[in-house]
């Protein structure tokens, strides 16, 4: 199963692969060169399919949990001062996605969408400390019944050239449903209340809509 954001590109890549394969048959005489060229085209097409895959998953929805919005690796767990929406300190958990990860962005919590904004910006590498504030990004805030306002931010990386954001202010967000898509490598920040109980560690691999990033701290 492939994400809708990749349908046109996949079809275009397949058409290009067929045309180039046929062209090599007519314009290249060396059989080894033909095989090498076709193999390169096939590998390139497989990489595109890999990037836009959207595997079916069974989600366990729970308002007591904050789910990872994306597949990838946890690269930041720290307190930060958010100047865009909260204007106060928040607990930030950041997940970095490599080009081979599933790039669907999912709502970490369910509730009402109260903020959705696009910010043009730079294309610093996604793990750069300033990427959260200087790179191209989208910010979405969902008002949740347990955690209050939960912010997640899609951040473009050095390779990411298009961020897709589906969040519309006033609409309802269902936990683990598609919130957006980032093309070709990036990062997502999640900003939570300071008293949230972190459930992951640095460098831990996580799955979007599956891994619990944090839980409500009842102590």
Between 73 and 128, name the one with better pLDDT.
73
Number of H helices, E strands in the chain: 3, 14
Query: 94, 116, 132, 186: which is the annotated catalytic residue?
Result: 186
Q: Is the pLDDT of residue 58 over 80?
A: yes
Assess whether 195 and 104 both reside in one domain. Answer: yes
Range of the domain at 27: 4-51
Q: Total structural domains in the chain?
A: 2
Between 43 and 85, name the one with better pLDDT.
85
Assess whether 175 and 197 both reside in one domain. Answer: yes
Assess whether 17 and 95 both reside in one domain. Answer: no
Between 157 and 129, name the one with better pLDDT.
157
Assess whether 71 and 44 both reside in one domain. Answer: no
Assess whether 69 and 176 both reside in one domain. Answer: yes
Is 73 among the domain residues? yes
Low-confidence winner among 55-64, 73-82, 126-135 (lowest mean pLDDT): 126-135
Mean pLDDT of the chain: 84
Q: What is the pLDDT of residues 20-42, one digit of tens each?
A: 666 766 666 667 766 777 777 77
Low-confidence winner among 53-57, 61-65, 83-87, 201-205 (lowest mean pLDDT): 53-57
> Which helix (H) or strand (E) segment is 40 a member of?
helix 31-51
CATH number, domain at 148? 2.70.70
What residues does 155 pair with on adjacent strands? 137, 187
Structural tokens at position 4: 């809708």
Q: What is the pLDDT of residues 201-215, one digit of tens each?
A: 999 999 999 999 999
Assess whether 18 and 125 both reside in one domain. Answer: no
Assess whether 175 and 144 both reside in one domain. Answer: yes
Q: What is the pLDDT of residues 140-189, one digit of tens each?
A: 999 999 999 999 999 887 665 678 899 999 999 999 999 998 876 688 99
Is 86 among the domain residues? yes
For residue 145, indicate whether it is catalytic.
no
Q: Is the pLDDT of residue 126 over 60?
A: no
Assess whether 180 and 139 both reside in one domain. Answer: yes
What span, in angstroms and rounded, lies between the C-alpha atoms of 149 and 60? Answer: 21
Is 57 among the domain residues? no
Is 143 among the domain residues? yes
Assess whether 89 and 194 both reside in one domain. Answer: yes
Is 202 among the domain residues? yes
Low-confidence winner among 9-23, 50-64, 86-100, 178-192 (lowest mean pLDDT): 9-23
Q: What is the pLDDT of residues 91-120, one digit of tens each?
A: 999 999 887 788 889 999 999 999 999 998
Assess whether 122 and 179 both reside in one domain. Answer: yes
DSSP assignment letter at 59: -
Is 56 among the domain residues? no
Assess whether 98 and 192 both reside in one domain. Answer: yes
| Residue 36: predicted pLDDT | 74
What span, in angstroms and rounded, lies between the C-alpha atoms of 94 and 76? Answer: 5
Task: Using a pLDDT cut of 70, give the percent of the chain over it.
Answer: 79
Assess whether 115 and 196 both reside in one domain. Answer: yes
Greatest pairwise CA separation for the chain in angstroms: 74
CA distances for 212 relative to 16, 90, 175, 177, angstroms: 41, 18, 12, 15
**CA-CA-CA-CA torsion for 147, 151, 157, 159, nearest 10 degrees?**
90
> What's the pTM value of the predicted model, to 2 decimals?
0.79
Backbone angles phi, psi at 150, to 5 degrees: -115, 125
| Residue 152: predicted pLDDT | 97
Torsion sign (Cα): 153, 106, 147, 197? negative
| Residue 84: predicted pLDDT | 94
Is 150 among the domain residues? yes
| Residue 53: predicted pLDDT | 75
| Residue 10: predicted pLDDT | 63
Is 40 among the domain residues? yes
Structural tokens at position 54: 């959207």
């Amino acid at each position: 199963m492939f994400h809708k954001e990749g349908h046109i590109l996949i079809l275009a890549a397949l058409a290009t692969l067929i045309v180039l394969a046929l062209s090599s048959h007519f314009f290249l005489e060396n059989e080894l060169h033909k095989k090498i060229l076709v193999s390169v085209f096939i590998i390139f097409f497989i990489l595109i399919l890999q990037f836009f895959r959207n595997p079916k998953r069974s989600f366990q929805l729970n308002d007591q949990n904050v789910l990872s919005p994306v597949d990838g690796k946890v690269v930041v767990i720290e307190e930060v001062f958010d100047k865009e929406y909260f204007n106060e300190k928040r607990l930030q958990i950041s997940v970095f996605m490599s080009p081979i990860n599933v790039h669907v962005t999912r709502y970490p919590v369910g509730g009402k969408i109260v903020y959705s904004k696009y910010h043009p910006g730079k294309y610093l590498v996604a793990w750069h400390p300033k990427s959260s504030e200087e790179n191209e990004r989208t910010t979405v805030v969902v008002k949740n019944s347990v955690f209050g306002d939960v912010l997640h931010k899609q951040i473009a990386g050095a390779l990411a050239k298009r961020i897709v954001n589906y969040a519309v202010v006033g609409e309802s967000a269902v936990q683990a449903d598609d919130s957006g898509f980032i093309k070709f490598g990036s990062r997502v920040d999640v900003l939570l209340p300071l008293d949230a109980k972190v459930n992951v560690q640095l460098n831990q691999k996580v799955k979007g809509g599956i891994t619990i990033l944090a839980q409500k701290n009842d102590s």
